[in-house]
């Protein structure tokens, strides 16, 4: 964030790099983060140390990691596919429509950062309690995280409903671009709360070691939003905001599926055996006098 304006606009240097400057600032930030992280492992009193002897490939562990990671990674691929579909549909409406949608998407992504951070925290917390066979703590983790996600997304919804033009206007002064961005935020913001809860649920599936339900709900959401939109775009009188309304239906369907699948995972995976009570000796007690 600090480097970007200097490299993009050439503040203080007189050499603006434009879009390339944004890429350069990201690269520098990643390099700094990697060096900083490695310095922790090499510190004298660090709790974690590199042990080259443990670097032998463990294919059984690789399979388990891929079984959990690949479905979750495929979710992001489907999101990219949805964006490609929307941009393709929006192309006939002109560059202003594509720009308005692009700005709106970036605003939404920025507003979801608190929920993304929350999801990253939910997975290890719920996963540790799942490994410790603390079923109620696993359920409480989702409940508390869902409440926090709802609160954050409700606040973001209110902002997008009240001052969308102000937000979009930060990125463009073109009236047609602002109009598309405002229309997008007005409609799509009604999905924020449901999407936030789904993101937390996705982290819960990861914590319990089964990401297939999350893949199913994400695939359903993308399919419900994309396929009808493509079909509708071929009809006479098609309007771009019809796509945003399809996203409302898609999130409602996916949220319902996500909650049903999460309840199913609870029934299947949170049925730990109760610990056996300590044995009580019934033998005679010797009393020494």
Dump pLDDT digits (tens) for 39-70: 888 887 888 887 778 888 889 989 888 887 88
Q: Specify whether 181 is located in the same domain as 120.
A: yes
Asked if residue 282 belongs to a domain, the reply is no
Residue 274: the pLDDT is 52
Q: How far apart are the first and last CA of the chain?
A: 80
For residue 281, pLDDT beyond 60: no
Residue 11: the pLDDT is 86
**Is there a contact between 207 and 145 (Cβ–Cβ < 8 Å)?**
no
Q: How far is CA 77 from CA 13, 71, 222, 239, 261, in A?
A: 38, 10, 11, 26, 22
Q: Specify whether 121 is located in the same domain as 44.
A: no
Q: How far is CA 105 from CA 108, 171, 182, in A?
A: 5, 12, 11
Q: Specify whether 82 is located in the same domain as 42.
A: no
CB neighbour burial string for 81-115, b if at least 16 within 10 angstroms, e if fewer: ebeebbeebbeebeebbbbbbbbbbebbeebbebb
Asked if residue 275 belongs to a domain, the reply is no
Q: Specify whether 32 is located in the same domain as 64.
A: no
Q: Specify whether 71 is located in the same domain as 160.
A: yes
Q: Last residue of some domain: 9, 25, 56?
A: 56
Q: Specify whether 90 is located in the same domain as 29.
A: no
Alpha-helical runs (H) found in 112-174: 113-131, 135-162, 164-169
Dump pLDDT digits (tens) for 105-154: 999 999 999 999 998 899 999 999 999 999 999 999 999 999 999 999 99
Domain of 7? 1-56
The mean per-residue pLDDT over the stretch 199-212 comes to: 90
Q: Specify whether 150 is located in the same domain as 24.
A: no
Work out the mean pLDDT of the chain and round it to a whole number.
88
**How many CB atoms are located within 10 Å of the residue 1 CB?**
6
Q: Which long-range contacts (CB under 8 A, 24 or more apart) does 116-124 make?
A: 116/199, 118/145, 118/148, 118/149, 118/152, 118/199, 118/200, 119/145, 119/199, 119/200, 119/202, 119/203, 120/203, 121/145, 122/200, 122/203, 122/204, 122/207, 123/203, 123/204, 123/206, 123/207, 124/207
> How many domains are contained in the chain?
2
The mean per-residue pLDDT over the stretch 24-45 comes to: 90
Dump pLDDT digits (tens) for 155-170: 999 999 999 999 999 8
Q: What is the Rg, in whole angstroms, of the alpha carbon atoms belonging to the chain?
A: 25
Q: Specify whether 48 is located in the same domain as 152.
A: no
- Percentage of the chain modeled with pLDDT above 90: 54
Poorest-pLDDT segment among 37-41, 161-165, 256-260, 282-286: 282-286
Asked if residue 284 belongs to a domain, the reply is no
Q: Specify whether 207 is located in the same domain as 247.
A: yes
Asked if residue 285 belongs to a domain, the reply is no
Nearest CA to 217 among 71, 66, 68, 63?
A: 71
For residue 278, pLDDT beyond 80: no
Instruction: Quote the pTM value.
Output: 0.76
Q: Specify whether 27 is located in the same domain as 140.
A: no
Nearest CA to 89 among 78, 79, 101?
A: 101
Residue 283: the pLDDT is 44
Residue 284: the pLDDT is 40
Residue 286: the pLDDT is 43
Q: Specify whether 174 is located in the same domain as 261.
A: yes
Rounded to 5 degrees, φ, ψ at 101 are -65, -45
């Amino acid at each position: 964030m600090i480097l970007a304006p200097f490299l993009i606009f050439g503040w203080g240097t007189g050499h603006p790099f434009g879009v390339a400057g944004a890429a350069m600032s990201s690269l520098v930030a990643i390099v700094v983060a990697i060096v900083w992280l490695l310095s922790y492992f090499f510190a004298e009193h660090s709790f974690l140390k590199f042990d080259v002897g443990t670097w032998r490939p463990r294919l059984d562990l690789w399979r388990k990691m891929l079984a959990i990671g690949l479905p979750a990674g495929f979710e992001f691929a489907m999101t990219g596919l949805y964006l490609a579909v929307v941009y393709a549909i929006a192309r006939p409406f002109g560059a202003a429509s594509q720009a308005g949608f692009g700005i709106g998407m970036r605003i939404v992504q920025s507003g979801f950062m608190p929920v993304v951070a929350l999801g990253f925290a939910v997975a290890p917390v719920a996963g540790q309690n799942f490994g410790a066979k603390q079923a109620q703590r696993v359920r409480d983790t989702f409940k508390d995280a869902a409440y926090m996600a709802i609160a954050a997304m409700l606040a973001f919804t209110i902002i997008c409903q009240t001052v969308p033009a102000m937000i979009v206007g930060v990125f463009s002064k073109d009236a047609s671009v602002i109009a598309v961005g405002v229309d997008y935020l007005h409609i799509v913001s009604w999905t924020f709360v449901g999407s936030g809860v789904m993101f937390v649920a996705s982290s819960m599936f990861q914590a319990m070691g089964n990401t297939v339900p999350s893949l199913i709900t994400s695939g359903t959401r993308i399919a419900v939003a994309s396929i009808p939109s493509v079909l509708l775009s071929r009809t006479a009188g098609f309007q771009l905001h019809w796509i945003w309304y399809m996203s409302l239906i898609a999130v409602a369907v996916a949220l319902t599926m996500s909650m049903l699948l999460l309840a199913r995972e609870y029934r299947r995976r949170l049925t730990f055996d109760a610990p056996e009570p300590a044995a009580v000796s019934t033998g005679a007690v010797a009393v020494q006098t």
